[in-house]
């Protein structure tokens, strides 16, 4: 690595999120390790953040800003990849805030155990709203996700996601960029693993992730996640694991228990009550907040219900009715266009 070349290039696609970019830049300015550059790709925003990036640059942050027409976050990330200089590419969402020792920790861990591709968990900052904290608990709890997003106990191999993900230049040169699809980060991680590259979780390198600020948008997000899991199944037949079925099982099982509770006996409501009581207790122990614990219950219901409904719909239309084959073929065609 040359004296002027950054070790890490941070690539962030942005669409109408100036306030988030402000917080992100401030957190990057506070890093104790400075050997990185920030590459912001404005994806056709009507409310651009160029002045925010330029202000951060004037304060000493090594930045590149690009504006392009709106084509989607995958193409925006690839645009940034083509213009980044680092030996490693690191991806954050614009709604992330980065702890001050993130890059110091990342450098130390990679020096100790080199990885081709890596990722870290996410957490809620003290400044986040109670709804954001409840959503964060739901998205990271073993009771709702099986620990697959970087938990200490996991039901599936860790898969880096672009709210906190990185890979080497060699990975990019040999694997290509992101494909234009939902869950493009899981697709990218899968192709990296299939290419024989090493992938690891760096648990101390976490980010604070704001996520969705209300339950309506959270439902829409997890609904799309559920649908995209079937798209991944079409692309990678062996990728669907038992843990991915659990939200759909939850939806169908809850419906059955509710019907039985109404028509047969109220005792059928007990399993649901005990499950949500466990979520409440877990959130209370984790956050020490009654309000967050109460909100964690509807957050978990929305997460599991939204994902499960999206999964069931996509499974029915794309697998049972066979309407997903063309979609998989189109994604594979776009893959060829993205490869270098």
Predicted confidence band at 147 (pLDDT cuts at 50, 70, 90)?
A: low
Rounded Cα–Cα distance for residues 175 and 187 (Å)? 11
Q: How much is the pTM?
A: 0.88
Give the helix ranges, DSSP H, for 236-289: 242-263, 270-287
Residue with tokens 């979609």: 327
Q: Specify the DSSP class assigned to residue 20.
A: H
pLDDT, tens only, 227-244? 999 999 999 988 888 889
Q: What's the pLDDT score for residue 331?
A: 54
Q: What's the pLDDT score for residue 324?
A: 63
Average pLDDT, the chain: 91
Predicted confidence band at 157 (pLDDT cuts at 50, 70, 90)?
A: confident
Rounded Cα–Cα distance for residues 124 and 200 (Å)? 22
Least confident of 262-266, 272-276, 321-325: 321-325
- The DSSP element (H or E) to which 57 belongs, if any, is helix 50-58
């Amino acid at each position: 690595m040359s004296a002027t070349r950054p070790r890490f290039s941070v690539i962030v696609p942005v669409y109408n999120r100036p306030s988030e970019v402000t917080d992100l830049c401030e957190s990057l300015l506070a890093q104790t390790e400075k050997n990185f550059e920030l590459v912001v790709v404005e994806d056709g925003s009507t409310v651009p953040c160029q002045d925010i990036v330029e202000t951060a640059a004037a304060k000493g942050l090594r930045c590149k800003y690009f504006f392009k027409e709106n084509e989607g976050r995958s193409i925006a990330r690839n645009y940034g990849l083509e213009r980044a200089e680092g030996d490693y590419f690191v991806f954050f969402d614009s709604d992330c805030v980065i702890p001050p020792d993130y890059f110091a920790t990342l450098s130390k861990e990679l020096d100790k155990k080199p990885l081709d591709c890596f990722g870290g968990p996410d957490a809620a900052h003290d400044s986040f709203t109670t709804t954001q904290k409840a959503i964060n608990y739901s998205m990271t709890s073993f009771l709702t996700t099986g620990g697959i997003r970087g938990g200490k106990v996991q039901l599936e191999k860790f898969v880096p996601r672009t709210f906190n993900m990185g890979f080497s230049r060699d990975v990019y040169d040999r694997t290509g960029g992101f494909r234009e699809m939902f869950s493009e980060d899981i697709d990218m991680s899968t192709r990296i693993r299939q290419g024989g590259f090493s992938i690891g979780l760096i648990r101390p390198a976490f980010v604070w992730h704001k996520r969705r600020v209300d339950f309506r948008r959270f439902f829409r997000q997890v609904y799309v996640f559920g649908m995209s899991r079937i798209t991944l199944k079409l692309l990678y037949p062996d990728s669907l694991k038992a843990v991915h079925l659990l939200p759909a099982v939850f939806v169908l099982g809850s419906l059955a228990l509710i019907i039985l509770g109404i028509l047969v006996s109220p005792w059928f409501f007990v399993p649901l009550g005990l499950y949500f009581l466990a979520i409440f207790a877990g959130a209370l122990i984790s956050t020490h907040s009654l309000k967050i614990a109460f909100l964690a219950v509807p957050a978990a219901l929305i997460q599991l219900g939204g994902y499960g409904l999206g999964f069931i719909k996509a499974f029915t239309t794309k697998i049972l009715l066979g309407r997903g084959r063309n979609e998989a073929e189109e994604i594979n065609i776009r893959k060829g266009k993205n490869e270098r």
